[in-house]
Amino acid sequence: MQASNNPEKFVPRGAIAFFALLVVLGLIIWFGIYFLMLSRI
């Protein structure tokens, strides 16, 4: 697959996917600790 040379149509799919994965990882860690602490009340 050849990368597009047209900068107007460039979509940073890899960066978007990586960002989304980081957000999901952050959510898992944050809510993992959150529900663990709620269960200990």
Partner 1 sequence: MIDKFERNVIIAALLLSGLFIFSLFYALGARKADVTECLPYDKSYETARVNQIDKTTYQIFYVARMWSFEPAITYIPVGSEVDLFLTSQDVVHGFDIYNKNVNLMGVPGGVAKTTVRFDQPGVYKVVCHEFCGTGHQNMQAEIIVNYPKK
Q: What is the DSSP letter of 19?
A: H
Q: How far is the CB of 5 from partner 1 (least distance, A)?
A: 20
Q: Which residues contact partner 1 (rule: CB under 8 A)?
A: 12, 16, 19, 23, 27, 30-31, 34, 37-38, 40-41
CB of 3 or CB of 38, closer to partner 1? 38
Q: What is the torsion angle, in degrees rounded to the nearest 10, for the CA atoms of residue 35, residue 36, residue 38 and residue 41?
A: 170
CB of 7 or CB of 12, closer to partner 1? 12
